[in-house]
Chain A
Amino acid sequence: MKKTILSLAAAAAVMSFGTVAAEAKVKACWIYVGPIGDFGYSYQHHQGLLEAKAKFGDELETAYLESVPEGADAERAIERFARSGCNIIFATSFGYMDPLNKVAGKFPDVKFEHATGYKREHPNVATYNSKFHEGRYVQGVIAAKESKAGVAGYIASFPIPEVVMGINAFMLGAQSVNPDFKVKVVWANTWFDAGKEADAAKALIDQGVDIITQHTDSTAPMQVATERGIKAFGQASDMIKFGPTTQLTSIVDDWGPYYIERIQEVIDGTWKQSDVWGGMKEGHVVMAPYANMSDETKKLAEETEAKIKSGAFNPFTGPVTKQDGTEWLKAGEVAQDSVLLGLNFYVKGVDDKLPQ
C-alpha cells in the first residue's frame, strides 16, 4: 500500500512538471454557483468560457469549478485557483464577494473579477454585471401589447435588487403601452427547481394571466405556457426549442465579449480595476429573435430595443411613482446606478409586497 502511494506521488511529480511546460500564455478560471447543466445562469457563464476558449485557442488555459456553495467553500475554491496558477479568476455569484476580496488581498498578482457584487477592496479586484433590466423593459412593452387580459405573471427567484429591478423595468415597459397593466408576482424561493417553477406558472395561469415571464432558470415555465396555449418569455438563454410557438423573445446573457476583453487585457498587461455594468449597447444583453407576436408589436419592440441600445433612452426615466404613491423620479429624471443597484421598492402597479 505504502509503495503504491509513493509511486503515485512520484508519477504525479513527473506529470506536474509536464503541465507547467504547456504553451498557454494565460490561465483563466471560473467559479460557478450552479451546475453548468442548469441551462440558465451558470450555463451561460460557461458558454462565455467556451467562447473565450474558441477565441484564444492554445494561448488560453481554462479551468472551472461548478456548484461551489456560497459560504466557507467559496474561499477555499478561490484560493485554490489563485494558487494553481490562474492569472484571472471570474467568480460568478454574488455570495462570493467577501471571500474573493479576502483572497485577493493575499495574491496581488492575480486578477479577480466578481460578477454582480460591489466590493473592490484591492486594486486587483474588478466587478462586472449586466443590465438585464433593459431587456425586461422591452419584454414589458411586448407583454402589454400582446396580452388580452392585461395582466402578466412573473415567476421570481429571490428578492435581491437585480430581481426587483427586473420586475420594475418590466412594469414600466408595460405601463408605457397600457397604464393599467398588472403584474402578479410569485416568489419560487429557488433559482432552479423545474417542478416548482412549473407549478408557479400553472398557478399564475389559473389566476388569469396570459403571459408568463420568469427570473428563475429552468425551461419549465416555457413548457407549461406552451401546453396551456399562452405566450411566455425565456430566461438567460434562448429557449425557443422549448416553446417554438410560445416564446416571444428571451433575454440572453452573453458574457463572452466581456470575458474575451478582460483576458485580452491580461495578456496585453493592460488590465485595470473597473466596475463594468454592460447592457444592450455593450452586447452583454441580447434579445433572442422576436417571434409569435403581431408585426406591430414586433416593430415597437425593435424600436424600443434600438432606443435603449443607442443610449437615447434609459428604462428608468421619470416620471415614475413608487408603489406607495410617492414620487421616485421626476419627469425626465434618470435613476442613478447606485440607487438601482440597491433597489428595494416597487413602482406603482406591482401587485406584491417586498420584505422590508
Chain B
Amino acid sequence: MLEGILLTIATAATPLLIAAVGELVVERSGVLNLGVEGMMVMGAVTGFGVALATGSPWLGVLAAIIVGALFSLLFGFLTLTLVTNQVATGLALTLLGLGLAGMLGESFVGLPGVKMIYIYIPGLTDLPLVGKLFFGQDPLFYVSILLTAGVAYFLFKTRAGLTLRSVGDNHASAHALGIKVIGIRYMAVMFGGACAGLAGAYLSLVYTPQWNENMTAGRGWIALALVVFASWRPWRVLAGAYLFGAVSIGQLHAQALGIGVPSQLLSSLPYLATVVVLVLISRNRRLTMVNTPASLGRPFVPDR
C-alpha cells in the first residue's frame, strides 16, 4: 500500500514539477508568464493527437514540446517585442490556449489514448518497496527529476545561467554590459513553453491517457504558485510539487478510510498546507528575498 501511495504521489507531482521548473526559468529571466495553463493544455492536446496518429507516445511528447514552445513564442512576441503587459498577455494566452485546444481536440473526445510504457529493469524493478519507485515508473518521471537537476545546475553553476539570472535581476545593467536581454528572455520563454507542453503531454499520455476539454483543470495555476512557493529555487519546486501531491493524495486516503471530516475541508488541505509552509519558510527573510528576480514582470525596451 505504501508503495502504491508513493507512486500515486509521484504521478500527481510530476506534471506540476515539469511545468513549474519551466516557469521558474522564465521568471528567473524577469518575465512573468501567467499562461502556463494555456500552454499546458495545448501540449496535452498535441501530445494526445500525435501519439494517436503515429502510435508513438514519444513522438507525441516531442510534438507537445515543440507546440508548447511555439505557442509561448506568441506570448514572447507580444510581451518582449511589443512590450505588452505580461500579466494580461499571459491570461489572454490561457484563454486562447483553452479555446484552441478544445477546437483541435474535438474529434479526440471518447477515444482511448496511447499510454507511455513504464520502465522495467529485470531485478531492480522487482525489488520490494523501492523497486517500482526508483526503477519502474514512466520515463517522464525520470525526465522531470533530470530536468530539475539540469535547471539547478544551469542556473547556479554555469556562466549562461548567471547571465540569465542577471537579466532577471537587473535588465538595465545587464543590457549595459552588452548582454542581449531580449534574446535571452525569448529563449527562457520558449523553454518555459516547452516544459509546459511536456507537462501537458504527461497528462494526456501518462496520468490519464485520454483527451478531455480543460483536462489541465487548473494545474497550470498550481505550477505558477509552486514557483513562488519555491522562492525561485529548482529543488524547492520539487519539494513543493511533492508536498502538494502528497497532501492531495493523502486527503483521498483519509476519505476512503471514512474519517468523517467534511470532504471540502480535506480538499482544501493542499492549498492550506502550501500557504502554511510558505509562511514558515518566508519568516526567514534571507531565504526568500535574495532569490526574487528584481525585474520580474517589468517591461524592457533597449535604448539606442
Contacts and interface: CB of A to CB of B under 8 A. Distances in A.
Interface of A: 35-39, 43, 153, 184-187, 189-190, 192-200, 202-208, 218-220, 223, 237, 241-242, 351-353, 355
Contacts of B207: 194-195, 198
B212 A199 contact: no
B176 interface: no
B241 interface: no
15 contacts: A35-B213, A37-B213, A39-B212, A186-B255, A189-B267, A192-B214, A193-B217, A194-B210, A195-B12, A195-B215, A199-B12, A219-B210, A220-B208, A237-B110, A351-B258
Given A207-B253, A353-B260, 19 more contacts: A35-B214, A37-B102, A184-B258, A185-B258, A194-B203, A194-B207, A195-B12, A195-B208, A199-B11, A202-B4, A203-B249, A203-B253, A206-B4, A208-B1, A218-B208, A220-B208, A237-B110, A242-B112, A352-B255
A190, A203, A223, A352, most chain B CB atoms within 10 A = A203
A351 B102 CA distance: 38
A207 B263 contact: no
A219 B11 CA distance: 17
Contacts of B112: 219, 223, 241-242
Interface in B1-52: 1, 4-5, 7-8, 11-12, 15
B212 A192 contact: yes
B252 A200 contact: yes
A185 B11 CA distance: 22
A39 B107 CA distance: 12
B280 interface: no
Nearest to B106: A37
A207 B257 contact: yes
B252 A37 contact: no
Given A43-B109, A189-B267, A193-B217, A223 B102 contact: no
Interface of B: 1, 4-5, 7-8, 11-12, 15, 102, 105-106, 109-112, 115, 203, 207-210, 212-215, 217, 219, 248-249, 252-253, 255-258, 260, 262-264, 267
A319 B109 CA distance: 43
Nearest to B257: A207
A187 B253 CA distance: 11
A98 B231 CA distance: 46
B201 to A, nearest CB: 14
Given A205-B4, A220-B210, A195 B217 contact: yes
Contacts of B215: 194-195
Nearest to A190: B217
Nearest to A355: B262
Contact of B1 (A43, A198, A206, A241): A206
A39 B258 contact: no
Contacts of B208: 194-195, 197-198, 218-220, 223
B125 to A, nearest CB: 16
Contact of B8 (A184, A194, A206, A352): A206
A187 B254 CA distance: 11
Nearest to B214: A35
Contact of A203 (B214, B252, B263, B264): B252
Contacts of A241: 110-112
Nearest to B7: A202
A195 to B, nearest CB: 5
A246 B222 CA distance: 33
Q: Name the 5 nearest CB pairs between A and B, nearest first.
A: A187-B263, A206-B4, A203-B252, A194-B208, A353-B260
B258 A353 contact: yes
Nearest to B110: A39
A35 B4 CA distance: 33
Nearest to A207: B256
B303 to A, nearest CB: 35
Given A199-B249, A202-B8, A153 B256 contact: yes
A241 B109 CA distance: 12
The listed residue with most A CB atoms (<10 A of its CB), out of B203, B257, B258, B260, is B258
A351 to B, nearest CB: 4
Contact of B5 (A187, A196, A206): A206
A200 B11 CA distance: 13
Contacts of B105: 37
Contacts of B263: 186-187, 189
A194 B252 contact: no
Contact of A199 (B8, B102, B110, B213): B8
Contacts of B109: 36-39, 43
Contacts of A207: 1, 253, 256-257
The listed residue with most B CB atoms (<10 A of its CB), out of A197, A198, A199, A219, is: A199
Contacts of A206: 1, 4-5, 8, 253
A313 B206 CA distance: 44
B210 A204 contact: no
Contacts of A205: 4
Contacts of A196: 217, 248
